[in-house]
Amino acid sequence: MQNVFELTHPLAAHHLSILRATSTSPAQFRTQIHLLSMLLAVRATDDLQLAPVSVETPLTGMTGSKLDQRIAIVPILRAGLGLVEPVLQLLPDAAVWHLGMYRDEATAQPVEYYCKLPEGNAVDVGLVLDPMLATGGSIKAAVVALKRWGVQDIRVLSVIAAKPGIEEFHREFPEVKVFVASIDPVLNSHKFIVPGLGDAGDRMFNTQRD
């Protein structure tokens, strides 16, 4: 698939398997999301532009590098929040634009409940964060918002994505790069990713129903 990048690092496979397991506690689940987000962020930013910067080491002066692009990270609430801290650790100067969206359980359509861009905040690169891409509806709505806000270079970071969801998303936005830890093959009749990991938001925030 063009413009789809699946992590191939052994650490990604290792941490993903722990993430998926039903026996994994919410605390451990958050840790796994943190680790996988870092691996995803490294992969999704490997072509960012740099500018030279003077650095004084204890031994000498030298020319080092600093990031030369303005970046926004755009978590889709709620589960996207779990990716914010690790990505901010790597991109501490990034702006954070929150997008509130949940998927209606009956229709599987995204329902937007918070979408407010701070005025006068142009950026070069927008990284959309959501651990799950199932039907692709939520990511599509997020990309529509970012395009409306004038972001040219939009990249999606998702831990697990369903193949049909990526294909559906790319029918509308083939130019948007999607970085995932795993591409899972199918959605079930409730539009849940299989094998997947269940509901990422509920597992992250310990709000599963009994």
Q: In the complex, what is the shortest distance from the CB of residue 162 to ligand PRP, in angstroms, rounded to a whole number?
A: 8
Q: How many residues bind ligand PRP (CB under 6 A)?
A: 21
Helix (H, G, I), strand (E, B), or coil: what is residue 26?
helix
Asked if 138 is part of the footprint of ligand PRP (rule: CB under 6 A), the reply reads yes
To the nearest 10°, the Cα dihedral for 34, 158, 6, 149?
-120
Dihedral Cα 195, 99, 70, 159, nearest 10 deg: -10
Write the single-letter amino acid at 20: R
The 105-134 site mask, x for binding ligand PRP (CB under 6 A), equals ---x-x-------------------xxxxx
Please tell me whether residue 79 binds ligand PRP under the rule CB under 6 A.
Answer: yes
CB of 65 to ligand PRP, least distance (A): 34
Residue 81 or residue 125: which is nearer to ligand PRP going by CB?
81
Q: For residues 101 and 138, is the Cβ–Cβ distance under 8 A? A: yes
CB 56 within 8 A of CB 182: no
Helix (H, G, I), strand (E, B) or coil at 68: coil
Site membership for ligand PRP, residue 18 (CB under 6 A): no
By the rule CB under 6 A, 136 interacts with ligand PRP: yes
Binding characters for ligand PRP, 162-201, by CB under 6 A (x = yes): ---x-------------------------x-------xxx
Half-sphere exposure of 116 (CA within 13 A, CB side): 3
Site residues for ligand PRP per CB under 6 A: 76, 78-79, 102-103, 108, 110, 130-138, 165, 191, 199-201
